[in-house]
Amino acid sequence: MTLPNSTLEATIADFREKKLGTLIYMSKTGSHLHGSACDTSDIDIKGLFLPDIEKLMTREHEDHIKYQFTENGKVTEVTFISVQEFLDKLMKMECNTVELLFSMDSNQILLAGPLSKYLREHAGKLLTRNVSSFTGMANAEVKRYKNHTQRNCHKDIAHGIRSGIQARELLDTGKLVFPIPQINVIRKVKFGQIKLDDAYSLMELQFHVLENPREEPTPEQFYLKRKLIIDMYQFTA
């Protein structure tokens, strides 16, 4: 939704006024989190919330609530995500959700507290080694490049290289770090300082040596997900 003369503070106030739930975390994401933002970059913000318990029980809650506003010539998109959906997608290793988890260790945090710290401490135990969400982005860019489609550009290839770097980092260390350690290379590709053919070769190399284990969540992980949700509601009772 778009609010007239909106700001981030007005967006948060509107969310709370409608009693949609308990807001527990917010962070800048996208290029600002990665470290590749420039002066003209729009701002993406994601937040986590516990849906109002009555709305949850009556199935009147929403898992996604979006706001958008323009301030100082830049578009800011704010997406509030329920903890339930966040944990579901985390277990599927959805790339943006995994990034949001590790944004809790970054310098882009806008709002945090005891509940988000509890979530950060335990939610990483839900991760698997299935990085197909990350490899899928680069595979799509490979197909576009080989087919000479119009969508191919330095920015697209930069996204693919970033995904490869992150997939390897997850498999090697079990976590992501922000800003991305190899961000200087990604920035050079994104802003056209490396020829497109060379950038493509760099992206392809990332995935040529990358294994993708098809690991599924365990029963213990499903139990932990349930426990985390129950615990967080008990903390707010």
Order of all β-strands in the sheet with 21-29: 64-71, 74-82, 43-51, 21-29, 109-111
CATH classification of the domain holding 121? 3.30.460
Mean pLDDT in residue range 7-29: 91
Residue 34 lies in a domain: yes
Instruction: Provide, rounded to the nearest whole percent, the portion of the chain with pLDDT above 70.
Output: 91
Same domain? 101 vs 138: no
Q: If you ran DSSP here, which 8-state letter would residue 127 be given?
A: -
The pLDDT, as a whole number, for residue 62 is 81
Q: Is the pTM of this model over 0.75?
A: yes
Residue 94 lies in a domain: yes
Residue 66 lies in a domain: yes
Same domain? 104 vs 166: no
- Structural domains counted in the chain: 2
Residue 1 lies in a domain: no
Same domain? 137 vs 113: no
Cα–Cα distance list, 35 to 90, 161, 227 (Å): 22, 14, 34
Lowest mean pLDDT among 84-88, 110-114, 119-123, 134-138: 134-138
Residues 6+ apart with CB under 8 A from 111: 12, 23, 24, 25, 26, 47
| Owning domain of residue 183 | 132-208
Same domain? 193 vs 83: no
Q: From CA 55, how far away is CA 76, in angstroms rounded?
A: 28
Same domain? 141 vs 223: no
Over the stretch 62-73, which tens digit does the pLDDT of each residue have?
888 999 888 777
